[in-house]
Amino acid sequence: MDAAPAPPRADDDVVDGATHARAPEPHMWPARLALIAVLLVALALRTWRLADLPPGLHTDEGHYASDAIDILRGARPVFLPGNNGREPLFSYIVALAFGGLGISILSLRLVAAFAGVLAAALTAAVARRMVGGRSTASTDSTGPTASTGPTASTASTASTQANPAAWVAVLAAAGVGFTFWPVLQSRVGLRLVLVPVWTALLVLAWDRALATSARQRQAVGILGVERRGALWAAATGVVLAAGFYTHLTGRVLPAIPVATGLWWAWRTRRPAVVGHIALALAVAGMLAFPLVRHLVRHPELAVARTGQVSVLNPEVNEGDLVGTLLDNAAALALAPFAEGDGNLYHNLPDRPIFGDAVWMLGWFVGLAMLVAAAVHGHDGRRRRWAVLAAVTLAVTVAPSWLSARAPNFLRLTGTWPVLFAVAAVGIDAVASRMPGRWPTPMRRAAYAALVGAALALPLWMTSRDYFARYAADERLYGIFNGAATEHGRHLATVAAEGPTYITPLLDQQTAIRVLTADHPPVAVDSAHGLLLPPAGRSARYVFDPLEVHAATAFAARWPQASAATMTDSRGTPSLTVFTFPAATVDDLAASWVANRIQRTTFGGAIALVAGSGRGSGPVATGPISAALMIEVLAPTGVDHNLFVHAVDGAGRTVAQFDGPPLDGRPTTERWAGGERAILVVPLTPAADAGDVDWTTTSLRSGWYDWRTGLRLACTPCPEDGTSAGIERWTGRSD
């Protein structure tokens, strides 16, 4: 009786019932050491001078870092609405880095740098799997089948290299690790650097799912095989969800398993593949459900950015949709070897993807082999890989093809694993096809020389182009907000000295929030008053160099403060800092004693200690205002608005203010206990106020939750329990 066939091993491939057995790996250590060396050099390219090159912190980077700070402090967003809306996964990873390494530009960019190195390592795995691991022969009922197509290892290669697949993997890793474009993108803290990681994992996991689906009629039993295939399909779903939580381009990744899975099911007549597709999509949908639900509830967020850049937008296609698509297709076709992205933020302007002749040649040869194997390949496994690679390349190119100004290298990052794996296969194919009359040592030397050139050329050219040409471009200082970054570094030094207050303009600059995270300043609109620290502490008010008029007005209004102007690395004015020494702060508060009223406490959070009204003449025409001094007992829990009503002798409200104190900068729930505030609010006359007897006019003030209209109770407030009276009036306001 014949023995039962042995079940296929986990790393065997089965196509149409045939097992592709893998031979033991010969002489792997040189290639493995070379791969480790490539990844270490790739890491060095991404981390040398990382904190200051590019110079500054781009606005996009600042938003990711700012969101990560919020996450570190307890926020748990499912979507980030700022900066045109963004998926949150990258910011969560940055938050982990901030928690472990501290909040800094370096910590932010290290996430991108390590993601770039991981993408290089995974691209090596994709290339290795694409080639098939090593020279193989498949045995089925019809006998051996020769390896053909773009993933084949030719006989001449086998004769010149012990394990060509391993060296193809080294080349692919070097492509991502050393080429200018991936190096540049891995040195900027943007979420798109995660997309090639998900693309590579998707390709690897889904190929395993397709491979195991062909085994379900083997003697090993349906249940065991289906379970393994289901696990790989579920892993595919997890990767799809990760892509969905990373970037808009992640939304197109499900097309890869759907298209290739349906093709594979049709070719192999295996219905289990359809089940694997359904399982992958189900797992992805379940994990992505919170974000999907949020976007369904807020559909404007789902299409905000895509609507801006889509070729369907008339402002993008300028009335010629077909022409725009054709132009984009032509630009994408030229990008690998002729003309790349012209945006300095994405690339050294117009530099093609491949900067040397070896990689350009490898791309053309590898692409031709890919197309040939996908269309005419006879080996099932290799044809499956060719189709999977071709579909993946098409899907990951689509976001740039369907949007403005192709080629956009940011939207093309998902192409890295397949793009560089295909080029690496092409280089290996060229290196392997040496004249047969050459002696074996000569063929091996020629192979080594070409592979060595493919490793050395991009490393040398990227080192030159990035650290010399790109770094020397003065436009980078503006693109990466060099001035704002210097403001942030100066402000961090100032804020470390004690309570610091900045203008709303400075507060809008994300670089400042990131760089001052250890001692965050408070944004105050000083045109509406002054926020002072608790007794015994000094205060600093800081103005942007663009706010010359506001700084001049502040100096005139508060002559008690001493002023100093800082300069940046270029010798231009940076920040203007007004300093109130601790004694001056206390004297300023004490100067309000003449305007003191009966101390009134609102909701146990705010105490009104002084106040006066300013104005003269008819209320209908004369400008009037109120000035109040309050002490903060505790934050209000939720933001509250202030109301101040001017009431005449007949009890009519003749002028009023209703709104956020200090124009909402900061909101009252961010006030700290012990702080004091001088609030100056304009009173808007009532339309029917007419002439007013000024001597009989008084003020009433209180606080309310602007969401509900509910007022804070106050003590003592004998009239209505929610508003305090201010009887003192002085001269005309300015």
pLDDT tens profile 149-167: 444 433 344 334 446 789 9
Residue 173's nearest CA partner among 322, 37, 301 is 37
> Burial of 477 by CB count in 10 Å (0-12 exposed, 13-18 middle, 19+ buried)?
middle
Q: How far is CA 667 from CA 223, 531, 635, 664, 684, in A?
A: 61, 12, 9, 5, 22
pLDDT tens profile 83-111: 888 999 999 999 999 999 999 999 999 99
Range 181-206 average pLDDT = 97
Range 624-633 average pLDDT = 87
Residue 456, pLDDT > 70, answer yes
Q: How confident is the model at residue 489 (pLDDT cuts 50, 70, 90)?
A: very high
Identify each DSSP E strand in 303-417 by its residue range: none
Question: CB within 8 A of 626, min separation 6: which ones?
Answer: 611, 612, 613, 614, 644, 646, 657, 679, 680, 681, 683, 699, 701, 726
Sign of the four-CA dihedral 488, 494, 496, 501: negative
Residue 637's nearest CA partner among 600, 658, 678, 667 is 667
Per-residue pLDDT, 369: 95
Question: CB within 8 A of 323, min separation 6: which ones?
Answer: 317
Residue 2, pLDDT > 60, answer no
Half-sphere exposure of 531 (CA within 13 A, CB side): 29
Residue 577's nearest CA partner among 512, 519, 487, 494 is 494
Tell if the pTM clears 0.85, that is, is over it: yes
pLDDT tens profile 357-398: 999 999 999 999 999 999 987 777 889 999 999 999 999 999
C-alpha span between 114 and 98 (Å, rounded): 14
Produce one character per residue of 284-321: b if its CB has 16 or more CB atoms within 10 Å, e if not: beebbeebbeebeeeeebbeebbeebebebeebbeeee
C-alpha span between 134 and 146 (Å, rounded): 13
Pairing of strands 724-726, 698-704: antiparallel
Question: CB within 8 A of 655, min separation 6: which ones?
Answer: 619, 624, 645, 646, 683, 684, 685, 686, 689
Q: Calculate ∠ Cα 478-479-485, nearest 5°.
A: 65
